Structure 1
């Protein structure tokens, strides 16, 4: 799990498709630096939120032109070496600019010399589950897009293929968990905020050892801490059933051969840690952090959440927690 900065650690096995993508140019790539970021749709719970436009770029994958916001680290942090890369997936009904404002990941990560890419989901959402739907007849589309985006940024931006991390909020957090579950050799770590592993017919099963952090609000009224085995039907794309936050973490712990967990009560939160049995990295862990008095929100965010999402806790700065976890992964 430890990055290629440690020469004693073997390199992760990269998926063949990603290796091929690194060797071949991707059509339709190019920056649109002056193009403003789109606002959430009028029907979204995030409608009316704003964010400063960033560098918007495009990548053509599977016959579609996909977009993402890219933030490069400040020149002062440049070392000339390959840069860690964070891929951050927004929540359902939101967009890349919203997650950027919600998390401020680009500021904190940029100060650490990291690249951050905020990709745009199709229909303001992500295919976090494995079951085909009318809206997403190809349930693997977003996983392949993520692979291609990483390969593109390794080739064009000097991203370090051994230090690639995925994170996200809500549906985007579930997407980050899916990528880690299905492509454990692709990422060095994953973190989900208010997102759980899909269950039922769309179930996602971890397939290998990878460090994972799950941050969850104890009082989440949108997607309960204990999971949602039978969400009600609604308009648009179906809401997926999910495991509980703890069961999501336990699934990754089991896939990594972890031993018994250790739980510790801290100020405003409870932390449970499973240590992965990985001989290449004895410090690799799966962590679950349950934040007290917190809703379906990004802890520490200055953004006001939509009505009905619960309160934003200040007992944890989720952005720092995610980046600290990645640094240790």
Structure 2
């Protein structure tokens, strides 16, 4: 249900979780006709390494804020411990050294938003960029039943994960994945994740292996279908192909490959520091695809 008359609000918040005071930014539409509402979607956006909730909001061009008006969602940008997440990646980081319970923080945040804003426990969607994608991977591994849909951007499975699963996950989750073939930090074909050779973050699987892994976890056995996305801007800097695993499934896995794309959140209106992060994609609005594929299903 779209919101026709709304004023966007962005408010800081705190939450006691795991013995720490955790912080976040919440964005919602100021509506006065939702008394007793208990079915609003909740979108949780996990930032990348060195970022905060506020900075990933800027990095994305505030494109995820649109869910607050288009879907009457509450959009939350949580802050990692010392700008770090204790996610799927097993390396020496501040959050892992301290044993920060970020899965517990997520669960507490979901409960707090349901109590304060009437968000529905079965309509929780998670988005992770870069290091935040590693946090989404951990949630899909440990608490898939609390996730209605997931999007992983510029992030691939750590090498410590296998690329095959012996049985599907207890709770299948639709997953969208976005990755550029010229990503200078998280190599599309797999390998060492680093900042152009600095600050190595361990070996990782390829983007294709990552997508196949989640398809197997969702119990999808048929071959994927790959097709080009419509090329609209008249340039050849980037093009996009989309691959769908389980097109007939209610929990498909859909990777979007940005050929020539960098370490970005695809958004034609905002391409921060292409000299460092690589090219964004004028043909792809990441937030629009997440909305259409995950949030806007008929209720």
TM-score, with length taken from structure 1: 0.74
Deviations 1:238-276 (A, max 9, x none): 613222111111111101110221111223211111118
Structure 1, unaligned runs of 5 or more? 1-52
CA-atom RMSD, angstroms?
Answer: 2.8
Distance, in Å, in 2 between the alignment partners of 1:127 and 1:319 is: 25
For 1:132-211, list aligned pairs within 5 A: 133=92, 135=94, 136-137=96-97, 141-200=101-160, 207-208=169-170, 209-211=172-174
Note closer, same or farther for the CA distance 1:123–1:307 as it changes in structure 2 (3 Å cut).
Answer: farther
Deviations 1:66-117 (A, max 9, x none): 0000112341785834210000001101111111122214431011211100
**Structure 1 partner of 2:257:** 290
Note closer, same or farther for the CA distance 1:77–1:110 as it changes in structure 2 (3 Å cut).
Answer: farther
More deviation in 295-304 or 211-220? 295-304
The number of residue pairs the alignment matches comes to: 271
Q: Which contiguous aligned blocks of 4+ residues in structure 1 show a shift greater than 4 angstroms?
A: 76-79, 201-206, 229-235
For 1:229-268, list aligned pairs within 5 A: 229=192, 239-259=201-221, 260-267=223-230, 268=239
**Structure 2 partner of 1:110:** 68
**Structure 2 partner of 1:322:** 290
Note closer, same or farther for the CA distance 1:127–1:306 as it changes in structure 2 (3 Å cut).
Answer: farther
Q: Are the counterparts in 1 of residues 174 and 250 from structure 2 also a CA contact under 8 Å?
A: no
Distance, in Å, in 1 between the alignment partners of 2:256 and 2:100 is: 29
Identify the match of residue 59 of structure 1 among 11, 15, 20.
Answer: 15
Note closer, same or farther for the CA distance 1:243–1:295 as it changes in structure 2 (3 Å cut).
Answer: same
1:312 positional shift: 1.3
Distance, in Å, in 2 between the alignment partners of 1:164 and 1:211 is: 12
**Structure 1 partner of 2:235:** none
**Structure 1 partner of 2:236:** none
**Structure 2 partner of 1:225:** 188
Q: Are the counterparts in 1 of residues 244 and 253 from structure 2 also a CA contact under 8 Å?
A: yes
Note closer, same or farther for the CA distance 1:252–1:202 as it changes in structure 2 (3 Å cut).
Answer: closer
TM-score, with length taken from structure 2: 0.81
Note closer, same or farther for the CA distance 1:139–1:248 as it changes in structure 2 (3 Å cut).
Answer: farther
What secondary structure does 2:49 align onto?
coil
Q: 2:242 aligned with 1:271, yes or no?
A: yes
Note closer, same or farther for the CA distance 1:107–1:226 as it changes in structure 2 (3 Å cut).
Answer: same
Note closer, same or farther for the CA distance 1:93–1:252 as it changes in structure 2 (3 Å cut).
Answer: same
1:203 positional shift: 9.8
